[in-house]
Amino acid sequence: MDHIAFIMDGNGRWAENHRKTRQQGHEIGSSNVYNIFLSCIDLGIHTATFFAMSSENMSRSKEETEYISTLLDNSIKQHLDDLLANDVKFRVIGDLSHLPDSIRETVQHAEQVTSRFHKYELNIAYNYGGQWDIVNSIKTMLEKKIEITTSNISKYLATGSDYPDLIVRTGGYKRLSNFMLWQAAYSELIFLETLWPDFTKEHMRDIFFDYKLIKRKFGKVD
């Protein structure tokens, strides 16, 4: 497996179950991202993408969306030295125009100083939607006067032509929720009842070894 992606669902329900605030649920969920990314590294997975905030989530209260953007800022600052030490290329994919200038500067700095690395890749999808991604790709091609083909659409997506081998969604719902719609064409999908803050390295290892048993055909026959 080269690329795994996570739809991190369940922070709010976890908070409700534990009599915590939604902000506390998001804080615990945010702290779990890097733990799981380290598990991916331990398992030899090159790229991990975490769906932190969808385009549709931006319609939530200003207080909640601003708090999640602050968590993004704090997490980058907290882990940047580790990313540099582990040769991790870091990116935030999505429409970042709504972020405060200071947080955009944090993102841009982290992306710049890690851009030379290729050993591992960590993507955070923030204010991201699969429909937005496809439309943005096509707009870019039209601006550059490039022929619209499936391969070119892939090239100009936020992730480029790097598609996830496996998409894992926690929280019990069985849908993609506008995440990587183009890239997920032949991704394997796993849906778990486990809420994201309760997702552990043990879950990650079980998923990894279950995936290794899958024979992927990409529409072909044996």
Mean pLDDT by 10 residues, the chain (222 residues): 96 96 94 97 97 87 90 96 97 93 96 97 96 97 96 94 95 96 96 98 96 78 62
Instruction: Please return the burial class of 190, using the count of CB atoms within 10 Å of its CB with bins 0-12, 13-18 and 19+.
Output: middle
Active site residues: 9, 57
Structure tokens at 172: 């019990």
Structure tokens at 110: 């982290």
User: CA 24, CA 1: separation in Å to the nearest integer?
Assistant: 33
pTM of the model: 0.94
Q: CATH second-level architecture of 3-211?
A: 3-Layer(aba) Sandwich (3.40)
- Domain spans, the chain: 3-211
